[in-house]
Amino acid sequence: MTTPSTTMAQALNSALRDALADDERVVVFGEDVGRLGGVFRITDGLTAEFGEDRCFDTPLAEAGIVGFAVGMAMGGFRPVIELQFDAFAYPAFEQIASHVAKMRNRTRGRVALPMVIRIPYAGGIGGVEHHCDSSEAYYAHTPGLKVVTPATAGDAYSLLREAIEDPDPVIFLEPKKLYWSKSQVALPARTEPFGRAAIRRRGADATLVAYGPTVPVALEAAEAAVEEGWDLEVVDLRTLVPFDDETVTASVRRTGRCVIVSEAAGFAGVGAEIAARVQERCFHSLHAPVLRVTGYDIPYPPPMLEQHHLPNVDRILDALDRLQRDDRPDPRFLSLGGAA
């Protein structure tokens, strides 16, 4: 029997559908999620199937939507809300940073917020600025939030189901350029739980650490690098919080080299955190500085320039060139501080 091929969008839709069917506390709401089925059609058909009580449209009011979800969660529900695009979540940042993230701590454990905030994020779709932001660092930097970002359809399904079941609030970042990419997977699928990275490709010479939208890019670069004699390992983090130190550390200790690939601006980003952790845990195994290939430290550029801004195979190969394969110290890094 062949495994069906499923898009990430279909997987997310199925996860929501199954969660609504399995648990009557689950409610889905947000702008245009009902009648329209969401801007990316992730909630398509849910209102028709489960009724307006379970999946409904709200007015255009992000801070309100997130705050309502907090109140609903306090009242025993499991809200799954959609904010239409990365930057449209910013009006709700106060609710997220001040209430969603802190309620359990503030109430000394008396209030749990089992809610999920779904946010389509990152670029590669020819959008502009606020339709292509990589906003993961804001959330990952806020204690109290779990931050999840799938790269495959199977993970999209499984991680979203787990997010909805989780007792804590989860920021669920959906790489929008992967919505229509297909994986061979039969749903319902259960993959590894939160906090477990996946090794997407085994290799011996260096570890590429990627998450969300950069996982396919890293895999592509790994294939391209074969020609140059590199045997690369590709790690897909899957969840940024919790972070899987074990898998990353074991991989880099084996390969001795590490390049982190992310779309977000490099400065003070998640990649910097990963580099620091790798250095802390793998210092004596490293044969080269830990490098980052990231978006530049600029606002997201217009469509015709995005291919230069986003990490691509060229830029990853370029970083590999600087991984000192022959183990001689490279004086160039003195001035560059290790940034790719």
Residues that bind other proteins (CB under 8 A): 31-32, 35-36, 39, 57-64, 87-88, 90-91, 126-131, 266-267, 296-299, 301-305, 308-309, 314-315, 317-318, 322, 332, 335-337, 339-340
Q: How far is the CB of 30 from ligand TPP (least distance, A)?
A: 10
The span from the CA of 31 to the CA of 13, in Å, is: 16
Give the residue closest to ligand TPP by C-beta.
88
The span from the CA of 286 to the CA of 278, in Å, is: 9
Among 60, 111, 276, 305, binds ligand TPP (CB under 6 A): 60
Beta bridge partners of 28: 55, 80
In 3D, which of 293, 221, 215 has the Cα closest to residue 260?
A: 293
Whole-angstrom CA distances from 148 to 61, 118, 130 are 24, 10, 20
- Identify what 36 binds: other proteins, ligand TPP, none; CB under 5 to 8 Å per kind: other proteins
Per-residue binding string, ligand TPP, 4-43, x by CB under 6 A, is ---------------------------x------------
- Identify what 250 binds: ligand TPP, other proteins, none; CB under 5 to 8 Å per kind: none
Task: Pick between residue 57 and residue 245 the one whose CB is nearest to ligand TPP.
Answer: 57
Q: Does 300 bind ligand TPP (CB under 6 A)?
A: no
- What number of chain residues touch ligand TPP (CB under 6 A)? 6
Q: Note if 287 is an active site residue.
A: no
Counted residue by residue, the chain has a size of: 340
Q: How far is the CB of 189 from other proteins (least distance, A)?
A: 30
**Which contiguous run of DSSP H or E holds residue 210?**
strand 206-210
Q: What is the SS3 string spanning 91-156?
A: HHHHHHHHHHCCHHHHCCCCCCCCCEEEEEECCCCCCCHHHCCCCHHHHHCCCCCEEECCCCHHHH
CA atoms within a 13 Å half-sphere pointing along the CA-CB vector of 205: 15
Among 6, 14, 47, 84, binds ligand TPP (CB under 6 A): 84
Give Rg (Cα) of the chain: 20
Task: Pick between residue 64 and residue 242 the one whose CB is nearest to other proteins.
Answer: 64
Strands 170-175 and 146-148: parallel
- Identify what 45 binds: ligand TPP, other proteins, none; CB under 5 to 8 Å per kind: none
Residues catalogued as catalytic: 131
Binding stretches for ligand TPP (CB under 6 A)? 31, 60, 62, 84, 88, 91
